[in-house]
Amino acid sequence: MGAMWVMAAMLMAAGVQDDAAPTSQSQASCELHVWPGSKLGSVYSGWVRGGIVNGAVTGRDGYPRTPADAINTAEQAELLKQAELPALLKLDTYRVVMHADALPSSVIRRSPSRIATSDSPCYAELIVDDVMMQHDAFVSGKFLKVLFRYREFGTDPAPTRAFGTWVQTRLMKFPPALPEEEEAALAEIKLAFAKNITSFAAALRAPAKKR
């Protein structure tokens, strides 16, 4: 009798342990999905030429020489990785899921629900929609402008929050006037992109304006 009781107790204990293990493993973590943008675009207004979108980065006559592959998709992804986004966006319980490729514009603008496949009960998206160098030779100077879009989701298909805005950082060295200035110019535009991430985070966290 005693041996049978001991065996039953052992089986019960084993059953409790087996039932408890999946519960702890099934607890899904919150996810922040991040997509970098496509290659650099440009808008230029100057004395000789102006107004043609991407005239500088495609090497059109009369436009400043601009490195064709400046701040490409892979470099944007790396800068987003380095930004410590959960802390920056106040999403401390979220883990970052970095995507390697830029999203098509149609997907960004027409997706009513989550873009990535995820069963996480708490899910957010940070998307680089557009990266643009704006150069106004008359008045304002040169800026790296980035359009970020952010959405948060709970258990419902529709987002609980959606926010998007342009942010910009002034450029002094980019685009380089001479080949020997290219290294410093490329370093500057990467730094400007990193600053724009921080600027967007500040805009996202800012209290909503009262109407």
Closest of 75, 87, 163, 173 to residue 126, by C-alpha: 163
**Of 45-49, 60-64, 126-130, highest mean pLDDT:** 126-130
DSSP 104-168: PHHHHHH--S-SS----SSEEEEEEEEEEEEEETTTTEEEEEEEEEEEEE-SSSS-SEEEEEEEE
Strand partners, 127: 35, 149
Structure confidence by residue, pLDDT tens digits, 101-140 = 999 999 999 999 999 999 999 999 999 999 999 988 766 7
Contacts of 28 (CB under 8 A, 6+ apart): 119, 120, 121
Number of domains comprising the chain: 1
pLDDT class of 211 with cuts at 50, 70, 90: low
CB atoms within 10 A of CB 25: 7
Note whether residue 210 is domain-resident: no
- Report whether 130 contacts 147 (CB < 8 A): yes
pLDDT beyond 70 at 198:
yes
Residue 201: domain span: 29-205
Q: What is the pTM of this model?
A: 0.78
Note whether residue 15 is domain-resident: no
Note whether residue 14 is domain-resident: no
State what percent of residues in the chain have pLDDT above 70. Answer: 75
pLDDT of residue 34: 98
- CATH of residue 105's domain is 3.40.50
Chain-centre distance for alpha carbon 101:
11
More confidently predicted of 117 and 24: 117
Note whether residue 196 is domain-resident: yes
Note whether residue 21 is domain-resident: no
Which amino acid is located at 194 in the chain?
A: A
